[in-house]
A and B are shown apart, each in its own frame.
Chain A
Amino acid sequence: MSGLDPQAVGRYSRQIALPEVGSLGQARILAARIVLVVDGLVAETAARYLAGAGVCRFRSMARGSGLGDLAGVLAELNPDARVEAWPWPLEGTAWVSALEEQTVVLRVGFDDDAMVRAAVRVAVPVVAVRTDAASIDVLSLRRHGPCPHLCLDVPACLSNATESDPGISVLAGALAACEILDIVLRQAGPRARHLRLVLGPGEEPLAQDIPWAPECCACGGGASEARIPQQKLHD
């Protein structure tokens, strides 16, 4: 288990023993930089699970009440976990600086073109989560797209939910943490994908790949010149 110090080997032994992780995978988790583009219970839960699994570096771009004492909560779970507060970017170029050199972005809700375009431009995968009183969508976008805003007909399910069940937010946070680790372990992995879970007696979960549209203005043929909109973001 070269490259990991003995303390990490002890703490993460059960993960390292998984063929999908190994010592190389655990080293990737320990080196990952995760951006939390939101506040609230989904982000708090995802951060708890990521810190537990070995992620040490978080950048938090919370608005409003923010994430409270997230740094304190995470440090009690994992003394190596650090949370860097980052000002909310007001336009596209600020998003590019905020996301550069980061490993994965967790976005809760999905109303933010400038963030997605910046992520596509700097090749940082995005995990976007949306919840309401009885459903969860997890969208997992790879570096350079596809971006669902532009490649998919944006389904109504991607708009920010008004009211969520806090238990479902905890579930969504754990699901997001799994998907973020999958991206970290496989270094972006195979395809952009979408899971939709509706909690109801007759409902079936939906798991699908997200197609890439070559004509997409952000991640399609002209993606290298992706335009970064300068407009102020809606809140």
Chain B
Amino acid sequence: MSFLELKNITKRYGPLTAVGDVSLSVEKGEFVSLLGPSGCGKTTTLQMIAGFVEPSAGTIRLDGRDITRAKANSRGLGIVFQSYALFPHMTVFDNVSFGLEMQRVPRGERKPRVEEALSLVHLSPYAKRYPRELSGGQRQRVALARALVIRPPVLLLDEPLSNLDAKLREAMQFELREIQRKVGTTTVMVTHDQAEAFSISDRVVVMEAGRITQIDQPYRIYEHPETEFISRFVGKTNLLPGKVASATGAGATVSLAGIAVPVETAGLSVGDTVTLCIRPEKLHLTAPSNGLLTGRVADRFFLGSQWLYHIDGPLGTIMVVTPNDGSTPAEQGAPVGLEWSPSVVRVHRGAMAEAPDVALEVTG
């Protein structure tokens, strides 16, 4: 039996279903991230685990105990709130020390533990400040220290690193992972930064409009998104609508505006409307004569370790990401060919819901 278990949890606010029928099992010591667009019910789910929002239906079990209706102050969880919720009238030190006081940790033991937690989040010089004298990112780190210092069996983190710069964020992710490994804290983290979710989680839970659409290991979510929504939300992707032209036992050929593309998906039948998903980094640029597709470089963006190309061709604009290996990149306007291995193509049945969102981030 799992350590933390949500079973058919639902939360309704009047006619609005903020969270619908969510079931999730988290093993002891596991790091799980809830990933999803704004307003999809991540915070609400976390608040139900924390005990600040009462589920309309379903049960929550922690370590075998039914805590669905248990009081929040009897659950013993460490929480980082999305709004930080620091105690404005207490110094940073007192904020962090509060949880220890509530656990009746003797005064002499409290001081070193608070100092350790503050140095973990690089805030030791700020111990005597009040929250309103700190920057947003500093407040966020106080909130993190305050939750970590009590060494809770379960950590609930609501976007705990959203306000930090890239470097500090990476350092904090590393620390979180370290604590996780050393102390074995079970962690549920909310984030809408997919790179963060991927880099530190054991499993990622993708939510969409109050429902869980996929629970999987990070690389599987990336490589095998179960829905077109996920493939678009997680990383960049090229979505190409087409029709199955011919099908054999193990594969098929899909016709994209007259261009035949082989795929390795079984069980397709001729005439099906499908959408092909190909990640930009799985495409390779070649000489125009060698490509499965040809086109012209419409735009190119330098991303440091990579180049991102927009290639205009018969199927519209296609994104291609190539590693920056130091060689001269393709020029703007140059004709190029695109090739890929049939095994990297994912096939979703049905037509495309809407135009692919080019604005989404690239996963590093």
B and A form one assembly: no
Interface residues of A (CB under 8 A from B): none
